């Protein structure tokens, strides 16, 4: 499979629990992005990596959120002490480095906090 892969596809968790999502980008892509999409809205940027370096974080990414890309390949997004407002689709995308490059999205992880 040459696309962006995200796991799990669905996650239901109780409020207050921690959750972790994984993203495997397209293998030759050195940029990796995380977005969040709530119902009826477009995706909103959370953060992005170039190789293992986290270059930008949105103010949407509260202290309870942390993302890593330790070896410049796959990435994880952890949410601590989940709240009902965290319920959303979490999307990962990847691209090559450079301005005129396209970002390709995975199928997303749908999080439901009950």
Partner 1 sequence: QKEVEQDPGPLSVPEGAIVSLNCTYSNSAFQYFMWYRQYSRKGPELLMYTYSSGNKEDGRFTAQVDKSSKYISLFIRDSQPSDSATYLCAMGGRGGSEKLVFGKGTKLTVNP
By CB under 8 A, the count of residues binding partner 1 is 29
- Residues 61, 42: Cα–Cα separation, whole Å: 17
Q: Applying CB under 8 A, which of residues 11, 31, 36, 69 lies at the interface with partner 1?
A: 31
User: Strands 109-113 and 88-95: what pairing?
Assistant: antiparallel
Q: Which SS3 state, helix, strand or coil, does residue 85 take?
A: helix
Identify the residue among 77, 106, 111, 113 touching partner 1 (CB under 8 A): 106
51 close to 45: Cβ distance less than 8 angstroms: no
* Binding flag, residue 38, partner 1 (CB under 8 A): no
- Residue 100: CB atoms within 10 A of its CB come to 5
Closer CB to partner 1, residue 35 or residue 86? Answer: 35
CA distances from 77 to 31, 90, 103 (A): 15, 9, 18
CB 62: neighbour CB atoms within 10 A? 12
Interaction between residue 17 and partner 1 (CB under 8 A): no
* Interface pick for partner 1 out of 1, 14, 28, 42 (rule CB under 8 A): 42
Residue 40 sits in the site that holds partner 1 (CB under 8 A): yes
Piece of 13-21, 35-43, 63-71, 77-85 that binds partner 1 (CB under 8 A): 35-43
Residue ranges that bind partner 1, judged by CB under 8 A = 4, 6, 31, 33, 35, 40-45, 48, 56, 58, 91, 93, 95, 98-108, 110
């Amino acid at each position: 499979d040459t696309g962006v892969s995200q796991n799990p596809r669905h996650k239901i968790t109780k409020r207050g629990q921690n959750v972790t999502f994984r993203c495997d980008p397209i293998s030759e892509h050195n940029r990796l992005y995380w977005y969040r999409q709530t119902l009826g809205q477009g995706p909103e940027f959370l953060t992005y990596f170039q190789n293992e370096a986290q270059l930008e974080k949105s103010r949407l990414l509260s202290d309870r959120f942390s993302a890593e890309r330790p070896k410049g390949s796959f990435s994880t997004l952890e949410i601590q002490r989940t709240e009902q407002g965290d319920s959303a689709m979490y999307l990962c995308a990847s691209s090559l480095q450079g301005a005129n490059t396209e970002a390709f999205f995975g199928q997303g992880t749908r999080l439901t906090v009950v």
